[in-house]
Structure 1
Amino acid sequence: MKISTKTIVTVGMFTAVLAVLSILQIPMPTGVPITLQTFAMALCGYVLGWQSGVAATLLYIVLGTVGVPIFAGMSAGPGVLFGYTGGFIFGFIFLTLLCGISVRRKNPAVKIILGVIGLLICHLLGAVQYAVLAHITIGASLVAVSLPYIVKDVISVVGAYLVAIAVRKALYAGNILQDAKAA
């Protein structure tokens, strides 16, 4: 498998975008902050497609896990990944994957629905890990760490899709992406 220099640079560039949009946070009492991470992950998938999008997401997770302070609030390390918010971080892989898979679909509604399904998987994984660590039921966890964020996150997925249309066209015009018509 041959990977082009453009692909490597694009994946690195979007990993940086993920990092920057993840650092900003509004702390919440549950320990799960409000961030732009869902917007960033959805944008990454909608712009890069599933392969490069997931690669950027995995690189983001690896960098954060080994100590680069790029998780929410400039946190880092395996303690974050296996802490209260770690399930959401694992869920980002599915969010990016499903947004990326949707790039080849023609119908904008299908693209957004796939993104929202990825978002729901992300929320479920986050709520399950939170429930296990907080010793509460999954229902209570969903109410505490998913329900308050779901409207913002659905808006983030839709917004990411709309922004991705313009970003894909610009990257295509710059000869960085090869298949902008899929947007």
Structure 2
Amino acid sequence: MSTAVANSKNKLGTLEMVYVSMFAALMMIGANITSMVPFMVIGGVPITLQLFFAVLAGAFLGSRLGAISMAVYAFIGLVGAPVFARFSGGIGEILSPTFGFILSFILTAFITGLIIEKNKGIHIYISAALVGTIVSYLFGTNWMYAAYKLWFAAPEAFSYKVAWMWMAVPFVKDVPLAVLAGIFAHRMGKVIKKSRVAT
């Protein structure tokens, strides 16, 4: 009996699958929303809205579904669909210096959702969004640095400091977006809760 209950909890319901699919689709849009602007690429790292949607997925869907939605997005890209930044995709993307950010989105959504599940106050939503953003930068930037040093051709004068300097510009953009994602998810959570009570 307990096994059956556990299995039912692990399965996704129809509404949950819709949410997972929706956020995977939002990631595809966010990855390429700035692809038509060449100067939005710094040090080989495109400026996108992916982190915003990854944080929003965790804040809105929770740790489990948020992480699943990001994993679905990563899987779709790895099997060949051009859903990563600059319409790239395929298993070869694993070797890309920026692939660490793709993986970080799964962790970001999970951690953001996990923090919020323990407290529903708006300050927790915002804090969780900022923590998720920092996690993404830590994981993604360190992956990028390792990739350039170990298996990718590093630019001249490339160093750990330079790697973080590259990320300064998108970080300035992602911090207020993280705050916005936290506020938006909190408000949407309250709206959904009220609608459920009304019905």
What band does the TM-score fall into relative to the shorter chain? 0.7 to 0.9
Larger radius of gyration between Structure 1 and Structure 2: 2
Moved more, 62-71 or 2-11: 2-11
Please give the alpha-carbon distance, in whole angstroms, between the structure 2 residues aligned to 1:56 and 1:133: 26
Preserved contact between residue 122 and residue 183 of structure 2 (Cα < 8 Å): no
Moved more, 94-103 or 37-46: 94-103
Q: Does 1:102 align with 2:115?
A: yes
Q: Percent identity among equivalent residues?
A: 28
Corresponding residue to 1:114 among 115, 128, 136? 128
Report the CA distance shift for 1:6/1:99 in structure 2 as closer, same or farther (over 3 A). Answer: same
Moved more, 131-140 or 52-61: 131-140
Preserved contact between residue 125 and residue 185 of structure 2 (Cα < 8 Å): no
Please give the alpha-carbon distance, in whole angstroms, between the structure 1 residues aligned to 2:145 and 2:74: 22
Corresponding residue to 1:137 among 145, 151, 159? 159
Could you list the runs of 5+ residues in structure 2 that have no partner in the other structure?
1-6, 150-157
Aligned length: 175
Preserved contact between residue 24 and residue 73 of structure 1 (Cα < 8 Å): no
Report the CA distance shift for 1:68/1:161 in structure 2 as closer, same or farther (over 3 A). Answer: same
The ranges of structure 1 where at least 4 consecutive aligned residues each deviate by more than 3 angstroms after the TM superposition are: 166-175
The residue aligned with 2:26 is 17
CA-based RMSD of the aligned residues comes to 2.1
Could you list the runs of 5+ residues in structure 1 that have no partner in the other structure?
179-183
Counterparts of residues 172-183 of structure 1 (less than 5 Å): none
Q: TM-score, normalised by structure 2?
A: 0.78
Counterparts of residues 5-154 of structure 1 (less than 5 Å): 5-25=14-34, 26=37, 27-104=40-117, 105-135=119-149, 136-144=158-166, 146-154=167-175
